[in-house]
């Protein structure tokens, strides 16, 4: 998103009606029903504007860190033969489970498959997880909701400000959850590769059917093949595992989103 396409900042959002040239008519007091409607409209507008603006700022900051993120999350290097994306494994340590007052089950490690292997046409990137184009309508709220007095403008601006903060928090929460998924998936694929070498988990098997030349009078397909994953990776609890030297865990970059 270009800087010129940036959503409005808070001051611009607060002045939505002023920019639209809405008529301002002074009345003695704000009716409760109208005040409630203005408040609700202002909250909704503020949330959308705050979410869009903060999302835009986050994307600008992520773009500056793109080279570092490209190196840290290189999914292409993890892609398996025939465009198979590895499964995502999870690891839990020192798990304690109570089976009554007189039995305690303690497990040093638990490995589990959180997401299975799958075909992809291209390796994912960190952008697949955290880059979203925020959309926001620049049109102000409906003209009939324009504040018509100082009291109504106060209600409107307070509501927009409250909604704006909620929208910013929502954008930050979306980023946090997206980064958590990114780290979980990438580290889970690295874990799969390590456990595969140790024989703790199996590899996927892909069957191929070759149809040769196919088509019709309008199109010809040369050497058409169909690939199918016939056996998904499974944990191997009863095999002879092979210990290997494990390199130090790579340091994951810290993504800073505060301007």
- Predicted TM-score (pTM) of the model is 0.77
What phi and psi values does residue 213 have, to the nearest 5 degrees?
A: -100, 125
Alpha-helix residue ranges (DSSP H) falling in 203-246:
none
Is 191 part of any domain? yes
Is 185 part of any domain? yes
Q: Which two tokens stand for residue 31?
A: 């009716």
Query: How many whole angstroms separate alpha carbon 223 and alpha carbon 58?
Result: 46
Angle between helices 32-64 and 150-198 (to 10 degrees): 40
Furthest CA-CA distance within the chain: 84
Strand, coil or helix: 205 = strand
Query: How many whole angstroms separate alpha carbon 237 and alpha carbon 140?
Result: 61
* HSE-CB of 238 using CA atoms within 13 angstroms: 0
Query: How many whole angstroms separate alpha carbon 183 and alpha carbon 74?
Result: 12
Is 176 part of any domain? yes
The reported pLDDT for the residue numbered 149 is 84
Q: Which two tokens stand for residue 24?
A: 């301002």
The reported pLDDT for the residue numbered 150 is 87
Query: How many whole angstroms separate alpha carbon 57 and alpha carbon 41?
Result: 24
Number of domains within the chain: 1
Strand, coil or helix: 259 = coil
Which residues span the domain enclosing 141?
3-231
- 205, 231 Cβ separation under 8 angstroms: yes
Query: How many whole angstroms separate alpha carbon 202 and alpha carbon 117?
Result: 11
Query: How many whole angstroms separate alpha carbon 164 and alpha carbon 147?
Result: 18
From first to last of the 259 residues of the chain, give the pLDDT tens digit: 555 567 878 777 776 665 444 433 434 444 778 888 889 999 999 998 899 899 889 999 999 999 999 999 999 999 999 999 999 999 999 888 888 888 888 888 899 999 999 999 999 999 999 977 656 555 567 777 788 888 888 999 999 999 999 999 999 999 999 999 999 999 999 999 999 999 999 999 999 999 888 888 889 989 889 999 999 999 998 766 765 555 555 545 555 655 5
Is 26 part of any domain? yes
Query: How many whole angstroms separate alpha carbon 253 and alpha carbon 73?
Result: 9
Query: How many whole angstroms separate alpha carbon 61 and alpha carbon 227?
Result: 40
Is 241 part of any domain? no
- 199, 239 Cβ separation under 8 angstroms: yes
Is 74 part of any domain? yes
> What average pLDDT is seen over the chain?
84
Residue 72 neighbours by CB distance under 10 Å: 17
Q: Which two tokens stand for residue 200?
A: 């703790």
Residue 246 carries which DSSP code? -
Report CA torsion sign: 46, 48, 51, 54.
Answer: negative
């Amino acid at each position: 998103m270009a800087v010129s396409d940036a959503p409005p900042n808070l001051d611009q959002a607060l002045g939505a009606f002023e920019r639209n040239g809405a008529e301002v008519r002074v009345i003695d007091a704000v009716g409760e029903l109208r005040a409630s409607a203005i408040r609700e409209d202002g909250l909704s507008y503020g949330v959308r504007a705050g979410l869009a603006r903060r999302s835009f700022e986050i994307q600008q900051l992520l773009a500056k860190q793109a080279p570092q993120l490209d190196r840290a999350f290189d999914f292409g290097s993890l892609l398996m033969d025939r465009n198979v994306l590895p499964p995502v494994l999870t690891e839990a340590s020192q798990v304690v489970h109570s089976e009554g007052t007189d039995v305690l089950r303690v497990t040093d490690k638990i490995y589990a498959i959180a997401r299975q292997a799958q075909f992809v046409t291209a390796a994912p990137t960190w952008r697949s997880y955290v880059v979203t184009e925020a959309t926001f309508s620049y049109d102000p709220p409906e003209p009939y909701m324009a504040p018509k007095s100082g009291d109504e403008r106060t209600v409107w601006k307070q509501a927009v400000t409250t909604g704006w903060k909620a929208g910013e928090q929502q954008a930050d929460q979306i980023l946090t959850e997206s980064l958590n998924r990114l780290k979980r998936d990438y580290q889970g694929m690295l874990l799969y590769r390590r456990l595969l070498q140790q024989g703790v988990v199996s590899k996927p098997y892909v069957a191929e059917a070759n149809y040769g030349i196919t088509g019709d009078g309008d199109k010809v397909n040369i050497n058409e093949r169909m690939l199918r994953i016939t056996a998904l990776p499974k944990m191997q609890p009863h095999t002879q595992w092979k210990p290997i030297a494990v390199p130090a865990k790579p340091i994951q970059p810290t993504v800073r989103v505060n301007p």
